[in-house]
Amino acid sequence: MSENKIYKPKQISGFPEWLPEYRAVELAWMDKIRAVFERYGFCSIETPSVEEVDALLAKGGETEKEIYTLTRLHADDHDKDSRLALHFDLTVPLARYVAQHCNDLVFPFKRYQIQKSWRGERPQKGRFREFYQCDIDVVNVDGLPLHFDAELPAVMFEAYQSLDIPPVEMHISNRKIIIGYLQGLGVKDIPFVTRELDKIDKIGVDKTRLILAMHFELEAQELSSRERLDLAQKCLDIVQIQFADNGFVEKVRTLGVANDLLDEGLKELSFVMDNLKHLPQGSVIADLGIIRGLDYYTGTVIEVRFKDKPLSIGGGGRYDNLAGAFINQKLPGIGVSIGLTRLFAMLLDEGYIKPVAKCPTQILVVLPAEERRAEAAATAHSLRLRGVNVELYHSATKVKKQMSYAEKKGIPYVWFPPFEDGQPHEVKNMATGEQVQADPSVWKI
């Protein structure tokens, strides 16, 4: 860049940033979420933004994530940092962390983690390349009581409720149900079928039925085309079951599939639903169409949405063997995650989030004149001693301009030190316009 050429600022797609009056709201949300997490005894950890690529891929399996790797600008061909990459979620770092500090952690290990993650996917509405996730997970050695499967959704629900947002719905299922059911039906390629069933909302029922039927044909199962369609229909039947109570069990029974894993899943989901009865009616739905793409979920799966909106704003589930790729020990866990950035951006876009003051300043101390600077500074200092957020205007410009500054930044009070010797201090409430005499050594908001 030459000196008379400026770099034109531009926004980088998928990397959101907010103005101060909105960032303050986001921060407040994090505080509220954090408070709920801590109320249930979760402790905080922070892991590095980067992990080794091998660590990130250890659990990924077939689906390769869009991972951002690190390189130095001046790296040579043998750059060692290229083995590092930004984490794409907080679960894999947790697995590595738990495996690494296994001996120093107390189990069941309950931790929360509010950090950014990065994914190199094409950004679009509600999808970012850099975003905050608020995770809570419980990891244990050996078994993990099923009660956690109910507690975590409850904690997450309470966190959502602590925010000023439209009501959310938690859709809960158990992977054992769909897997067991498909096994019972004799379906061979279960990963493919579940992936298609997961997309049913987008693709539509009829199209999904055809895709499945076609797939069964390719699998060369000894079925007539009529039977293939019936089988596809059977697959569709289960994922369309939704109940606000345990009615789903009976409904599944009427489909007439017998399988041990299916029974286990039904039992677990019933247990979870029973233990979430204290939540508001209609906010928890046993939704057997919830499958979730992540490979490591093995039991309970959760997805959170606003009513009437398909986009997920949070989710999670149980994994029987979280850290298996890092340690020779079985560590089951369950975790849920609030998609803070997606949630926030969505509501911001809809104009639902109202901006707050552009700064935390509570009082602006006016600088009446250059000769009064020492006194104005002392006034500001005195007010700060009582925990008030005070800003001192550093230029002895027109009072009009100083007040306009306070107005624009949303500062609620303006303090006037004496303009001449012997005069009293005064403070003005910008909202009401009321102005009274005050003593900076005792005044409080």
Q: Determine, following the binding rule CB under 7 A, whether residue 300 of this chain makes contact with RNA.
A: no
Distance CA 357, CA 27 (A): 13
**Contact 135/333 with Cβ under 8 angstroms?**
no
Task: For RNA, give the closer residue by CB, 182 or 346.
Answer: 346
Q: Determine, following the binding rule CB under 7 A, whether residue 153 of this chain makes contact with RNA.
A: no
Which among 267, 284, 301, 269 is positioned nearest to 197, based on CA atoms?
301
Positions 94 through 133 that interact with RNA (CB under 7 A): 119, 121-129, 131, 133
Task: For RNA, give the closer residue by CB, 156 or 232.
Answer: 156
Q: State which of residues 17, 400, 421, 444 lies at the interface with RNA (CB under 7 A).
A: 400
What single-letter amino acid sits at 419? F
| Cβ partners under 8 Å of residue 314, min gap 6 | 156, 160, 168, 302, 303, 304, 336, 337, 338, 339, 343
Burial string for 195-204 (b: 16+ CB within 10 Å, else e) reads ebbbebeeee
Task: For RNA, give the closer residue by CB, 197 or 236.
Answer: 197
Q: State which of residues 292, 318, 331, 361 lies at the interface with RNA (CB under 7 A).
A: 292
Q: State which of residues 274, 401, 437, 441 lies at the interface with RNA (CB under 7 A).
A: 401
Instruction: Provide the minimum distance between the beta carbon of 108 and RNA in the complex, in angstroms, as a whole number.
Output: 22
Instruction: Provide the minimum distance between the beta carbon of 304 and RNA in the complex, in angstroms, as a whole number.
Output: 7
Question: Could you identify the residue written with the tokens 């979760």?
Answer: 42
Binding-residue pattern over the window 211 to 250 for RNA, x denoting contact by CB under 7 A: ----------------------------------------
Q: Which helix (H) or strand (E) holds 306?
A: strand 300-306
Task: For RNA, give the closer residue by CB, 211 or 223.
Answer: 211
Which among 154, 159, 188 is positioned nearest to 277, based on CA atoms?
154
Instruction: Provide the minimum distance between the beta carbon of 253 and RNA in the complex, in angstroms, as a whole number.
Output: 29
Which among 305, 336, 295 is positioned nearest to 133, based on CA atoms?
336
Q: Determine, following the binding rule CB under 7 A, whether residue 198 of this chain makes contact with RNA.
A: yes
**Contact 209/216 with Cβ under 8 angstroms?**
no
Window of 6-14, 174-182, 218-226, 350-358 that interacts with RNA by CB under 7 A: 6-14
Q: State which of residues 141, 190, 279, 430 lies at the interface with RNA (CB under 7 A).
A: 430
Q: How many CB atoms lie within 10 A of CB 301?
A: 25
Q: What torsion do the CA atoms of 344, 348, 354, 359 make, to the nearest 10 degrees?
A: 70
- Characterize the bridge pairing of strands 390-392 and 363-365: parallel
Q: Determine, following the binding rule CB under 7 A, whether residue 299 of this chain makes contact with RNA.
A: no
Window of 11-19, 102-110, 168-176, 374-382 that interacts with RNA by CB under 7 A: 11-19
- Characterize the bridge pairing of strands 284-287 and 168-174: parallel
Binding-residue pattern over the window 156 to 195 for RNA, x denoting contact by CB under 7 A: ---------------------------------------x
Instruction: Provide the minimum distance between the beta carbon of 348 and RNA in the complex, in angstroms, as a whole number.
Output: 12
Distance CA 228, CA 132 (A): 44
Residues that bind RNA (CB under 7 A): 5, 8, 10-14, 63, 119, 121-129, 131, 133, 195, 198-199, 202-203, 292-294, 303, 312-315, 337, 339, 341-342, 398-401, 403-404, 407-408, 414, 416, 419-420, 423, 426, 428, 430-431, 433, 435
